[in-house]
Structure 1
Amino acid sequence: MKKLLLAVLVCSTLYGKAQLPAYTLVNELNDPHPVDQGVWKEVTGTWHARFISVDEAFKRSAPPERNKLVDRWRAKAWRGEKVHTQALIWTKKALQGVSLQTSTLQDDKGNTITNGHVKANFVRYVLTDHLGDLKSGCGIPKGLDTSLVADLIDHVPNLAIDEKTSRPIWLSIQVPADAAPGVYAGTLTIQARNEKPQRLPFEIEVLPHTLPQPQDWTYHLDLWQNPYSVARVYGVEPWSKEHFEAMAPYMQLLANAGQKVITTSIIYDPWNGQTYDVYDSMIKWTKKKDGSWSYDYRIFDQWVEFMMGFGIHKFIECYSMIPWNLKFYYYDEASGKQVFLKAKPEENAYKEHWKPVLVDFAKHLKEKGWFDRTTIAMDEREMKDMKKAIAIIKEADPAFKISLAGGDHPELYADLADYCVALRYKLDKDLIQERRNKGFTTTFYTCCTEPSPNTFTSSTSAEATWLAWYALNRDFDGYLRWAYNCWGPKPLQDTRYGTWSAGDAWFVYPGARSSIRFERLIEGIQDFEKAKIIKASLQAQGDDAGLKKLDRVIGAFEEEGLKQESAASMVNKAKEVLNSF
Structure 2
Amino acid sequence: MNRILNTLLFCAITTIATAQTTAAPLGTYNEPNYPLPANYETQWAKVQTPVQLSWGSTDIRYDKYDVPAVKQQHKALLKAWRGERVNAQAVLWTKGNLDDVRIEMSALKSDKDVIPQSALSTHFVRYVMGDCLNPDGSGCGHRKSADYDSVLVADVLDINASLPVKSKTTQPLWLCINVPRNAKPGKYIGTMTVSASNMKAQHLEVNLEVLAHTLPDAQQWHLNLDLWQNPYSVARYYNVPLWSKEHFDAMRPIMRMLRDAGQYSITTSIMHKPWNGQTEDHFDSMVTRIRHIDGSWTYDYAVFDRWVEFMMNEVGIDRLISCYTMIPWNLQFDYYDEATNRIQFVKAKPGDNAYTEYWGVFLKDFAKHLRAKGWFEKTAISMDERPMEAMKAAIKVIKDADPDFKITLAGTYHDEIEKDLYYYSIPYGNDYPTPVKERRRKEGKISTYYTCCVEGFPNTFTFSPPAEGTWTAIHAVAADYDGYLRWSYNSWTHNPLCDSRFRTWASGDCYSIYPGPRSSIRFERFVEGLQDAEKIYILRQEYKEKKQNIKYNALQKELDGFKTEGMTTQRKHNADKQVRQLEYMLNK
Q: Structure 2 length as normaliser, TM-score?
A: 0.94
State how many pairs are aligned: 572
1:572 to 558, 568, 580: 580
- Whichever residue aligns with residue 569 of structure 2, its letter is K
Amino acid at match of 1:332: D
Question: Could you say which residue in structure 2 is the equivalent of 1:110?
Answer: 112
Partners of 2:19 and 2:375 in 1: CA distance: 31
Give the CA deviation at 1:148: 0.4
- Aligned equivalents of 2:164 and 2:245: distance in 1? 35
Find the aligned partners of 2:139 and 2:510 in 1 and give their Cα distance. 12
Alignment of 1:464-479 (within 5 A): 464-479=469-484
Corresponding letter in the other structure for 1:417:
Y
- CA deviations over 1:469-526 (Å, ceiling 9, x no partner): 1111111111111011111111110001122000000011111111111111110000
Q: Please, which of 127, 136, 139 is the counterpart of residue 138 of structure 2?
A: 136
Q: Is the alpha carbon distance of 1:504 and 1:167 closer, same or farther for their aligned partners in structure 2, counting shifts above 3 Å?
A: same
Report the AA paired with residue 260 of structure 2.
Answer: N
Deviation string 1:418-454 (CA, Å, 9 cap, x unpaired) is 1100102122344223211111111111000111110
Match of 2:495 among 480, 490, 499: 490
Matched, 1:147 2:136: no
CA contact (8 A) 1:51 1:71 kept: yes
CA distance 1:82–1:562, change in 2 (3 Å): farther
Question: Of residues 80, 84, 92 in structure 2, which corresponds to 1:81?
Answer: 84
The aligned residue for residue 156 of structure 1 is 160
Q: Which residue of 2 aligns with 1:523?
A: 528
Q: Quick one: which amino acid aligns to residue 165 of structure 1?
A: T
Partner residue, 1:398 = 403
Does structure 2 conserve the Cα–Cα contact (< 8 Å) formed by 1:140 and 1:500? yes
Partner of 1:168: 172
* Closer/same/farther in 2, CA of residues 464 and 312 from structure 1, 3 Å limit: same
Task: State the Cα distance separating 1:56 from its structure 2 match.
Answer: 1.1
> Aligned pair 1:200/2:230, yes or no?
no
Matched, 1:59 2:67: no
d(CA) in 2 for partners of 1:289, 1:340 = 16
Report whether the alignment pairs 1:188 with 2:192: yes
Amino acid at match of 1:232: R
Does the 8 Å CA contact 2:367/2:402 hold for their aligned counterparts? yes
Instruction: Give me the whole-angstrom Cα distance separating, in 2, the residues matched to 1:298 and 1:250.
Output: 22
Q: Does 1:264 align with 2:272?
A: no
CA distance in 2, matches of 1:267, 1:195: 57
The 3-state SS of whatever aligns with 2:562 is coil
What is residue 283 of structure 2 aligned with on the other side? 279
Amino acid across the alignment from 1:568? D
| Unmatched runs of 5 consecutive residues or more in structure 2 | 1-9
Give the aligned partner of residue 563 of structure 1.
569
Other structure's SS at 1:387 match: helix
> Is the alpha carbon distance of 1:408 and 1:449 closer, same or farther for their aligned partners in structure 2, counting shifts above 3 Å?
same
Give the aligned residue type for 2:570. Answer: Q
Q: CA deviation at 1:110?
A: 2.4
1:348 aligns with 2:356: no
Answering whether residue 102 of structure 2 is matched by residue 96 of structure 1, we say no
Q: In structure 1, what is the equivalent of residue 460 of structure 2?
A: 455
Alignment match, 1:125: 127
Contact 1:47 1:91 in 2 (8 A): yes
Q: Deviations over 1:89-132 (max 9, x none)?
A: 1000000000010011112x321111111111101000110126
- Partners of 2:135 and 2:24 in 1: how far apart? 43
In 2, distance between residues paired with 1:436 and 1:379? 21
**What's the counterpart of residue 28 of structure 1?**
31
Corresponding position: 1:290 with 2:298: no
Equivalent-residue separation in structure 2 for 1:430 and 1:156 (angstroms) = 52
Q: Residue 5 of structure 2 corresponds to which residue in structure 1? A: none
* Structure 2 partner of 1:300: 304
Q: Is the 8 A contact 2:23 2:239 kept in 1?
A: no
Match runs of 1:35-46 below 5 Å: 35=38, 36-46=40-50
Q: CA deviation at 1:234?
A: 1.3
Task: Find the residue that maps to 2:101 and give its secondary structure.
Answer: strand
Structure 1 contact 79–211 (Cα < 8 Å) conserved: yes
2:6 is matched with: none
Q: Identity percentage over the alignment?
A: 46
4+ residue stretches of structure 1 with deviation over 4 A?
Answer: 1-5, 7-11, 18-22
CA RMSD of aligned residues (A): 1.8
Report deviation, 1:43: 0.8
- Deviation by residue 1:296-350 (Cα, 9 ceiling, x = unmatched): 0010000000000222111100000000100101111111111101101011111
Query: CA, structure 1 residues 316+174, in 2 after alignment: closer, same or farther (shift >3 Å)?
Result: same
Q: Deviations over 1:164-184 (max 9, x none)?
A: 000111101111101111111
Deviation of residue 206 (structure 1)?
A: 0.5
Residue 438, structure 1, aligned to residue 446, structure 2: no
Describe the superposition over 1:370-394 as per-residue Cα deviations: whole angstroms up to 9, x where unpaired.
0000000000000000000000100
Cα distance in 2 for partners of 1:83, 1:549 equals: 24
**Alpha-carbon contact 1:7-1:511 (below 8 Å) kept:** no
Q: TM-score, normalised by structure 1?
A: 0.96
- Which AA in structure 1 matches 2:125? V
1:236 aligns with 2:240: yes
Alignment deviations for residues 139-187 of structure 1 (CA, whole Å, 9 cap, x no partner): 1532200110110101101000110000111101111101111111111
Q: 1:66 to 1:509 in 2, by over 3 A?
A: closer
CA distance in 1 between partners of 2:13 and 2:163 (Å): 10
* Shift in Å, 1:411: 1.3
Q: CA deviation at 1:215?
A: 1.6
* Structure-2 change in CA distance of 1:10 and 1:32 (3 Å): closer
> How far does residue 413 in structure 1 lie from its aligned partner after superposition?
1.6
